[in-house]
Chains A and B, each alone.
Chain A
């Protein structure tokens, strides 16, 4: 997984609780992304980061926030989880020194909101 880890890998939480997912990379890539993947929708971008403390919204950002205080870590927070946020969440990176335009994915986090 190109030096990308995600934690936790699985989580079950209750509606209304805050949840934070962590993505950690050891590749020193500039860009980091959070996607969600749902049947029939494919991969949809939630937020992305183009540098430390530099983030922007993606296609489905409502209900999510992110932070990037270090190059290697990108956090995704569900401020108040809802059942519609039950999904598989993937972190991805790109912008490496050698293959700047390629994007690599972490192993994913399966989140269930009950």
Chain B
């Protein structure tokens, strides 16, 4: 059973604060990890990908991966009201398993002005 778990929230942070989103996964074969942002009524948008242990920064976003603990997180610095959305964690299996992706149910984030 391949599972990706996220806290559903809702998570509320004031504008300018750091938002921390967490995700755990069950399958040690997982190789690639992704964060998507989904605005209400829209499709998921890829915002971060991470493949190796450690931190990866892109603008105000930092993804953190710890394969030993099977844990991936997303930090959003200087949160803005436009960051209010649902954030989906996704895990990718190797191509020999069909290159399948497994998604968490998402964490709803609200940034309060």
Contacts and interface: CB of A to CB of B under 8 A. Distances in A.
Interface residues of B, number: 23
Interface stretch (B12-20, B67-75, B96-104): B96-104
Q: Is the interface of A mostly helix, strand, loop or mixed?
A: strand
Contacts, number: 54
Interface of A: 1, 31, 33, 40-43, 45, 48, 50, 56, 58, 90, 92, 94-95, 99, 101-108
Contacts of A41: 105
A107 B43 contact: yes
A40 B98 contact: no
Contacts of B46: 102-104
Contacts of B95: 95
Interface of B: 31-32, 34, 36, 42-46, 49, 51, 88, 90, 92, 95, 98-101, 103-106
Contacts of A99: 49
Contacts of A104: 46
Contacts of B103: 42-43
